Structure 1
Amino acid sequence: MATEMYTGEDRQRQNGEVDKSESWRPPFVRDFGRIIHSASFRRLQGKTQVFPGHESDFFRNRLTHSLEVAQIAEGIADRLNDVFEEALGKNKIDSRLCAAAGLVHDIGHPPFGHNGERALDGKMKLYGGFEGNAQTLRILSRLEKKAKYDEPVDGDIRAGLNLCFRTLAAVLKYDTEIPVERPNAKKPQKGYYASEAKIVAEIKRKVLGGKSLPEGAKLKTVECAIMDIADDIAYSVYDLEDSLKAGFLTPASILATDDDLLKRVAEVVTEQLKDDIGETVTVSKVQATFVAIFSDIFATGEPKTSDDGEARKQDDMANFISAMRASRDLNMDAGKRMELSSELVKEFINDVELKVNEECPALSKVSLVKETRIKVEILKQYTFLSTIYSNRVKLGEYRGTELVEDIFDALQKENGHLLMPDDVRRQVQDAGDDKALKARHICDFVAGMTDRYAVEFWARLRSDAAESMFKPI
């Protein structure tokens, strides 16, 4: 294997395009620009993160979340290059490449988040499935209309954004081919589609210098690992901040969480970390994590030592009121929320470790220290289970699931392609009797919709107050 962090093969593009010679704009920087200017990236502004964008301008959407992940990923790389300068030597990590991976890590998400993902996977169980990470690779390597191959690859002439192989490797989180048929599957399988298998094989060949991975090993580059950690940090901190702003959570309500929810959080965290940590996370551990996070907020000063019982009661009352006000203030005061978020992000970034792979620097290991890894996962899962599973959020998600399924069914019917934009209509027509290819084109179209566009499209099919026929599809 190569001993350089980046080789000429890493910088090669899918269709063999040779970059222009401007020294000030190297290939990975050019990839960053292509991503920023892509239609799929822009559409992330219309996809929900946790709370729908129309509820408040404050809440994050998939676009602002991706920008935050990109910044955190770049910050992690910059810090690792500084702290591990001696171990890395000349093999510094390209921080702009890490940022590019952060920008696109969610670009494959369909409308209505994970519910939309499950809805589409349900419709695609016999045609290769649907999964957000697999769709991300497909968008970048196939669907974006930037470049084409001279000759078709697996019958497809499209080359997507025609990114460098190392950039594509940075988004390959799950190095597993999704089976074409999964009739009994209950949830999406993480990986990549069979339609991109040859592209993945070429990514591996370029990044590994033609060598093979050890038996049973999966490809995950150092940039991909950094992006993954940055996503976890952003998810755990900023989804909590949005939930505090929305009033779904308060420090007081978090510390007073009932045992059933705490037990569920502990079980899910234990399951998620079984391969990394290999220990049971207890309810006490979950509680202690939040006590540590909010301890400064509830600090009320030294307790009174008066022997006067009435004075002690008054003091206890004053402390209780002070604590409740402090809890309320974190929801109401943007400055205090930002301070808390900033402190947590800084702490997590400073706890990222690097283990350099001397034989193949591209496969160097990046991870959070054990205690911080547990803390991040507790924050993630608590916010997910307490907020995203709340009845108010679930009502909107349920509608999204039904809506996505309804749109897909309408388009899959005979002559359903006539309801689609001209370019997608031609693709479906050209698929002929190939049901799998036809379903994939329909799936690509629905997955690319923003939440609002999906609602409007559905309204044209079902609502009495449909959009004007003069508005383009």
Structure 2
Amino acid sequence: MPLYSEGDSQRIVPDNNSKAPEPYRSPWRRDFARLIHSPSFRRLQGKTQVFPGHESDFYRNRLTHSLEVAQIAKSIAIRLNATEQHFVKEKLEPDIVEFAGLAHDLGHPPFGHNGEEALDECMRNHGGFEGNAQSLRIVSRLEKKTTAHQVEGTIRAFDANNEDLRRGLNLTYRSLAAILKYDEKIPERAADRAKPKEVVKGYYGEEEYLIRKIKDHVIGKDFSGKLKTIECSIMDIADDIAYSTYDLEDNFKAGFLTPMGLFALDDEIYAEVANTIRQRAAKQYPEFENDVIDADLVRQTLYFVFKEMLFGVSDDLKATVRSRELGWGVKKMMVAAEVQDLSRNLARDGYQRVQFTSQLVQVFLSNIEVVPHEKYPQLHNVRLTLPAFLHVEVLKNITFHAIIKSPGLQVVEYRGKDIIKSIFTSLNQKDGVRLLPDDFQAICKGAPEMRRMRAICDFIAGMTDRYALEFYGRLYGTNQLTIHKPL
């Protein structure tokens, strides 16, 4: 079976036959262009990555993070094409991989993961909410590029029976498959979830028919397994690499962490990081005995990451340490002072930070392996080698547990969660849809409860952090009222 087939390039709505295919541009490049020009992509610049954007122009946001993920993902694809025997005859399509990197965070709501939890709690008995599911929904339904009814210049989003005709950016099936990270339908009701109070990763029930179509076109009508294409697995790795390096760089710049500070965290944090890595390793490396992953291994991994930058003691200090005239306490103090100085310089010096993160990314890119699928090359799995995986996971999860769960950021995210739920409550009350923009009001008019709730959720999920704060203020009087600024 070939890696790519004619079905991959077909779209949700077939292209107008009067338009000949462009010989100079592939279908995947057209998908890339449609994404770049979409409002949902632009709005990523107003959504938080780790630190709120208004704190500093230096910190990454969801847009710059997505650009970095796309670049890393495309580099992985190019490298595999040049080095892996699996792609000697048929190459990976870097444009699809790059598209996946750019699109993977489209569905993130304002205020990060707490915003996701807030919307999921509001939608828990109406199909739930999850960022990856929302990304697929945005490109396949919400973006206003195409509908299933476009005749003689008229475009309808819903037919006479109120059936949804929206088809989003009308992408190719292979591009849609590249952002399907979790092939699992989110239960409509919380009672049907294995863990009713946790966010379920997957796709919405409304997209079940689309998922079947994606599988039919990308794999074949006889395929009944779980779908995660090779492009999606590459995007997933690139996302982890970006998290593990660039989020750490933002932390150093912000002053929340120093390199040496990573070695002096609470014991509970190292234990939590080890537990998280064990769970992920069990899924990705079933052949590996992951009982060896513990707090000590986390600390050892950190040492190897920073070994050259921090612990290469200078020749002058080595000579001092060898001196018999100085006591051990003085020698220990001098070594500690030099290491602390190196740590402070790495955190403060932009040149050193960039060199450090660039070297890490290059090392990780050089440690990629392919786990072939026996029957379907579309499902070849790309992953980091185990040592590289451990390094990436330690850096990524240290940042999460030490910073994202820190009191300062938790206060911000808790406030964001409260704002999201308050907005949803206001829009979901009687006549609350009157507070929505005209296009969302039109969707809700005469719609069943499930569609009305989903439309409210779509509206809030599409907000930037700043707009969510502004909208909340206009509802609850925390800023000056205005009737001139449109919703």
Within a 5 Å distance, the mapping from 1:158-307 to structure 2 comes to 158-183=166-191, 185-213=196-224, 217-278=225-286, 279-280=290-291, 281-298=293-310, 299-302=312-315, 303-304=318-319, 305-307=322-324
Within a 5 Å distance, the mapping from 1:350-361 to structure 2 comes to 350-357=366-373, 359-361=375-377
User: What is the deviation of 1:258?
Assistant: 2.6
Q: SS of the counterpart of 2:9? A: coil
Please say if residues 269 and 377 of structure 1, whose CA atoms lie closer than 8 Å, have aligned partners that are also in contact: yes
Structure 2 residue aligned with 1:146 = 145
Structure 1 residue aligned with 2:28 = 28
Structure 2 residue aligned with 1:402 = 418
> 1:372-423: CA deviations, max 9, x gaps?
1122111111100000001111111011000000000000011101111000
Structure 2 residue aligned with 1:454 = 468
Alignment RMSD (CA, Å): 1.7
- Give the whole-Å Cα distance in 1 for the aligned partners of 2:390 and 2:31: 34
Structure 1 residue aligned with 2:91 = 92
- Give the whole-Å Cα distance in 2 for the aligned partners of 1:292 and 1:248: 22
* TM-score normalised over the length of structure 1: 0.95
- Runs of at least 4 residues off by over 3 Å: 150-154, 312-318, 355-359
Q: SS of the counterpart of 2:128? A: coil
Structure 1 residue aligned with 2:14 = 16
- Give the whole-Å Cα distance in 1 for the aligned partners of 2:116 and 2:67: 22
Which residue type is aligned with residue 274 of structure 2? A
Equivalent of 1:324, from 329, 337, 340? 340
Within a 5 Å distance, the mapping from 1:328-407 to structure 2 comes to 328-357=344-373, 359-407=375-423
Structure 1 residue aligned with 2:459 = 445
Structure 1 residue aligned with 2:3 = 5
Which residue type is aligned with residue 208 of structure 1? I
- Give the whole-Å Cα distance in 2 for the aligned partners of 1:342 and 1:157: 46
User: What is the deviation of 1:358?
Assistant: 6.1
> 1:231-250: CA deviations, max 9, x gaps?
11111111111111111111
Percent identity among equivalent residues? 45
Please say if residues 120 and 199 of structure 2, whose CA atoms lie closer than 8 Å, have aligned partners that are also in contact: yes
Which residue type is aligned with residue 471 of structure 1? K
Which residue type is aligned with residue 352 of structure 1? I
- Give the whole-Å Cα distance in 1 for the aligned partners of 2:374 and 2:294: 37
Q: SS of the counterpart of 2:323? A: coil
Structure 2 residue aligned with 1:128 = 127
Within a 5 Å distance, the mapping from 1:66-105 to structure 2 comes to 66-84=66-84, 86-105=85-104
- Give the whole-Å Cα distance in 2 for the aligned partners of 1:447 and 1:258: 35
- Give the whole-Å Cα distance in 2 for the aligned partners of 1:257 and 1:163: 46
Which residue type is aligned with residue 70 of structure 2? A
In the alignment, structure 1 residue 118 sits paired with structure 2 residue 117: yes
> 1:146-165: CA deviations, max 9, x gaps?
00113979921000000000
- Give the whole-Å Cα distance in 2 for the aligned partners of 1:306 and 1:322: 17
User: What is the deviation of 1:113?
Assistant: 0.9
User: What is the deviation of 1:371?
Assistant: 1.6
Which residue type is aligned with residue 296 of structure 1? E
> 1:34-59: CA deviations, max 9, x gaps?
00010000000000000011111110
Please say if residues 50 and 388 of structure 1, whose CA atoms lie closer than 8 Å, have aligned partners that are also in contact: yes
Please say if residues 305 and 391 of structure 2, whose CA atoms lie closer than 8 Å, have aligned partners that are also in contact: no
**Tell me, which stretches of 5 or more residues in structure 1 are unaligned?**
none
Please say if residues 250 and 327 of structure 1, whose CA atoms lie closer than 8 Å, have aligned partners that are also in contact: yes
Please say if residues 81 and 88 of structure 2, whose CA atoms lie closer than 8 Å, have aligned partners that are also in contact: no
Q: SS of the counterpart of 2:445? A: helix
Which residue type is aligned with residue 199 of structure 2? P
Which residue type is aligned with residue 39 of structure 1? P
- Give the whole-Å Cα distance in 2 for the aligned partners of 1:283 and 1:316: 25
- Give the whole-Å Cα distance in 2 for the aligned partners of 1:277 and 1:21: 42
> 1:210-234: CA deviations, max 9, x gaps?
2214xxx310100001001111111
Please say if residues 73 and 235 of structure 2, whose CA atoms lie closer than 8 Å, have aligned partners that are also in contact: yes
**Tell me, which stretches of 5 or more residues in structure 2 are unaligned?**
151-157
Which residue type is aligned with residue 319 of structure 1? V
> 1:126-168: CA deviations, max 9, x gaps?
1100000110110010000000113979921000000000000
- Give the whole-Å Cα distance in 1 for the aligned partners of 2:20 and 2:281: 45
- Give the whole-Å Cα distance in 1 for the aligned partners of 2:364 and 2:329: 40
Higher mean displacement: 108-117 or 295-304: 295-304
User: What is the deviation of 1:464?
Assistant: 4.4
Please say if residues 11 and 166 of structure 1, whose CA atoms lie closer than 8 Å, have aligned partners that are also in contact: yes
> 1:416-458: CA deviations, max 9, x gaps?
0111100001111131xx2111100100001000000000000
Structure 1 residue aligned with 2:326 = 309
In the alignment, structure 1 residue 470 sits paired with structure 2 residue 484: yes
- Give the whole-Å Cα distance in 1 for the aligned partners of 2:374 and 2:2: 9
- Give the whole-Å Cα distance in 1 for the aligned partners of 2:32 and 2:262: 39
User: What is the deviation of 1:313?
Assistant: 5.5
Which residue type is aligned with residue 386 of structure 2? K
Please say if residues 456 and 467 of structure 1, whose CA atoms lie closer than 8 Å, have aligned partners that are also in contact: no
User: What is the deviation of 1:112?
Assistant: 0.6
- Give the whole-Å Cα distance in 2 for the aligned partners of 1:421 and 1:203: 32
In the alignment, structure 1 residue 420 sits paired with structure 2 residue 436: yes
- Give the whole-Å Cα distance in 1 for the aligned partners of 2:397 and 2:408: 18
User: What is the deviation of 1:467?
Assistant: 4.4
Which residue type is aligned with residue 169 of structure 1? A
Which residue type is aligned with residue 399 of structure 1? R
Which residue type is aligned with residue 309 of structure 1? L
Higher mean displacement: 101-110 or 312-321: 312-321
Please say if residues 146 and 169 of structure 2, whose CA atoms lie closer than 8 Å, have aligned partners that are also in contact: yes
Which residue type is aligned with residue 58 of structure 1? F
Please say if residues 245 and 360 of structure 2, whose CA atoms lie closer than 8 Å, have aligned partners that are also in contact: yes
- Give the whole-Å Cα distance in 2 for the aligned partners of 1:313 and 1:133: 54
User: What is the deviation of 1:309?
Assistant: 2.6
- Give the whole-Å Cα distance in 2 for the aligned partners of 1:464 and 1:401: 17
> 1:257-283: CA deviations, max 9, x gaps?
232211121112212322223512111
Q: SS of the counterpart of 1:354? A: strand
- Give the whole-Å Cα distance in 2 for the aligned partners of 1:77 and 1:389: 34
Q: SS of the counterpart of 2:308? A: coil
User: What is the deviation of 1:306?
Assistant: 1.8
